[in-house]
Copies of this chain bind each other. A is one copy, B any other.
Amino acid sequence: MAIPKYQQIADEIRDRIRTGVYPPKSLLPDQNTLAKAFGVSRMTIKKALDGLASEGLIYKQSGLGTYVLGDVTAHTNDSPAEVFEGLTKQEGAEHVSSQVLTFDVSLPSQLVRNKLQLAPDEPVYVIDRLRKVDGQPAVLEHTFFPLKLVPGLTHEILLGSIYDYLHQNLHLKFGGALRRINADVAGTLEVDFLNATRGEPVLQVEQVIWLTTGENIEYSTSRNLASWRGYTILDINHD
């Protein structure tokens, strides 16, 4: 039982919605019927439907039934970006390359100490990278990692995906992130490295990422030209 039943059932129903067996705006069979049809208990059906509801694919209402809403991408023609992981996973490793502008170790400023919840004597890596997509300059990243959580970082690793290194080599798992998005105008750095014209709008994302242990592992600020890329968020109402 590698894949749990509720997951298999969710996959099957998702597929039936996608292929039109359960068309949008229709009612799904009730949970008891589905339970018998899949040869499974009703709790298992409910768990499968809960998952689909949290994806925004269906909507359940007690006393009424379960509506099919259809794919979220039906609402617009954009598709939402799942952006928990980094640029490498979004664009595909073969499209992304990095140029390392700074790679230093130093004691954290008051701001960085605060963001990473560090003691004054705990050193941090300070990294500036220019990320390129298909050879085109795309994003400027300014990142801090606590040395104690990310030992053995090398120039080599910075050329690829740092997140892959954190996950695969250090076996660290991300617990969550808090992001703040804002607008700014291009300064010297963006003119020099992103081929911006001065005063052009720039989208800035500032984030703190923590591990499943609750320790903060990254504080970073990344900037890209607004004309190149925005930030898309899918928000499902769970009442």
Contacts and interface: CB of A to CB of B under 8 A. Distances in A.
B233 A25 contact: no
Q: How many protomers of this protein does the assembly include?
A: 2
Contacts of A154: none
Contacts of A178: 72, 75-76, 78, 80, 232-235
A19 interface: no
Interface residues of A, number: 55
Interface stretch (A4-12, A141-149, A157-165, A205-213): A205-213
B179 A67 contact: no
B56 A175 contact: yes
B184 A67 contact: no
Contact of A233 (B72, B175, B179, B184): B179
Given A203-B183, A226-B183, A236 B176 contact: yes
Contact of A236 (B70, B175, B183, B185): B175
Contact of A70 (B115, B208, B214): B214
Contacts of A214: 24-25, 59, 67-70, 74
A50 B199 CA distance: 47
A109 B11 CA distance: 37
Interface string A200-239: 1111100010101110100000000010001111111101
Given A25-B214, A183-B183, 8 more contacts: A24-B214, A56-B176, A69-B210, A69-B214, A76-B208, A84-B235, A180-B233, A233-B233
Interface of A: 24-25, 56, 59, 61, 67-70, 72, 74-78, 80, 84, 114-115, 117, 173-185, 199-204, 208, 210, 212-214, 216, 226, 230-237, 239
3 closest cross-chain pairs (CB), A and B: A183-B183, A183-B226, A182-B230
22 contacts: A59-B213, A67-B212, A68-B214, A69-B175, A69-B214, A70-B214, A74-B214, A75-B117, A76-B114, A77-B114, A173-B237, A176-B234, A176-B237, A178-B232, A180-B232, A180-B233, A181-B232, A181-B233, A182-B203, A183-B184, A185-B185, A199-B199
